[in-house]
Amino acid sequence: MYLIDTQTNRIKTLAKKTFLDLGFKERQHLQEWLANKPEALGEELLLIQKEFDGFNDTNERLDLLALDREGNLVVIENKLDDTGRDVTWQVLKYASYCSTLTKEQIKNIYQSYLDKNGIQENAGDKLATFYNQEYDEITLNPGHTQRMIVVAANFKKEVTSTVLWLANYKLRIQCFKATPFALEDQLFLTLEQIIPTKDTGNYIISMADKTQDEINTQESVKTRHHLRFEFWTMILPKLKGRTPIFQNTNPTKDHWLSAGGTGISGARYNLLVTKNYAGVQLEFGKSSKEENKRLFDELQEYRPIIEEKFGEALVWERLDDNISSRVSYNLPNVNFFDKNDWQQILDFLIPSIIKLEKVMREPLVKVKQKVNAMGEIELEVES
């Protein structure tokens, strides 16, 4: 591994080290690094527990437990300079223990983690934000989809041979080689996936029979999809001619309906319906987290003017841990799935989105001009 020195136009060799040489410990250091930066493993993971020991009839504990974007549990076992011979057996045991965890148990495990770390947030709400779905619609730990990740500086042949053999049976085990480097007083870490290699493509997993709970969830989701499509089909004609947005939008099965019209690519207006509230929203959803936060911060400079014209306080959510940011106005205590509430929801959504678009129009133009003038972010005009 080399460091590029742009001043001398040369590269400098980084010295490969061991964790032992540097005095790093498994739990105190490597585990904490991964817990606070799980995306270092090459994907977006939601850490839900650390040092988890909540298994029945055993005092064993796994290092890290996470969820991936598909709702699968991910067991993460980290070693330092050597895996030892038994790490494969370890992660298989932990995955088998986790295979019986229900959705509610997973939520409770996550809530315990948040409470222990002084994070005063609701686990169900955090899960809903991570999956961008209502909590009731999320499927967690479906079938036999548990995943395993092993992190270490060196892997014994007994481990790699076993992992490769298990891959033939669709067991999803990934091995990451963790290597520390040093250059004078600077330290660096690389995490390289060695099994499966990147060019092998995605795993194709044969799903086992669904449990009755999962079947019920899927049937419930189908019903929800039909209701949403019916509602969006009803509301769209009522917006025609009353606002420049949502004129070319089609109904969907999602709990949100999105439209452009902001003048900024990646920024959109949303209508939201859930079992607890309805809402209107301006969302900065560009692929760049930095750009979204900059746009949000610049828009917030106009907050007093915007809220004065809107006539109500809005909910401003920068969402530092997420890519997107948003500004919302919500109607609480309505249940979209109760058709008796539909008229109240309609009476709220239509005038609210019309008013939100009007009060945001001029500030968004100024924000775009200011950010473009600064030259730090290049904004495309939405097509």
194 and 264 together in one domain: no
Q: What is the pTM of this model?
A: 0.60
308 and 233 together in one domain: yes
347 and 309 together in one domain: yes
Number of domains in the chain: 2
**Tokens representing residue 179 in the block:** 């290597």
180 and 265 together in one domain: no
164 and 241 together in one domain: no
For the domain that residue 350 is a member of, what is the CATH number? 3.30.1460
187 and 276 together in one domain: no
Burial label for 311, CB within 10 Å (0-12, 13-18, 19+), is: exposed
243 and 370 together in one domain: yes
20 and 164 together in one domain: yes
85 lies in a domain?
A: yes
pLDDT per residue of the chain (383 residues) written in tens, 0 to 9: 899 999 999 999 999 999 999 999 999 999 999 999 999 999 999 999 999 888 777 778 899 999 999 999 999 999 998 888 889 999 999 999 999 999 999 999 999 999 999 999 999 999 999 998 889 989 999 988 899 999 999 999 999 999 988 988 888 899 999 999 999 889 999 999 999 876 443 432 333 334 445 555 666 677 888 899 999 999 999 998 899 999 989 999 999 999 999 999 999 999 999 999 999 999 999 999 999 999 999 999 999 999 999 999 999 999 998 999 999 999 999 999 999 999 999 999 999 999 999 999 999 999 999 888 876 555 544 54
**Among the listed residues 29, 175, 207, 25, the one whose alpha carbon sits nearest the alpha carbon of residue 88:** 175
Q: What pLDDT, on a 0 to 100 scale, did the predictor assign at position 311? A: 96
To the nearest 10 degrees (0 to 180), the angle between helices 289-300 and 303-310 is 70
107 lies in a domain?
A: no
292 and 172 together in one domain: no
| Domain of 147, in residue numbers | 2-101+141-200
Q: What pLDDT, on a 0 to 100 scale, did the predictor assign at position 216? A: 56
| 200 CB neighbour count, 10 Å cutoff | 9
For the domain that residue 191 is a member of, what is the CATH number? 3.40.1350.10
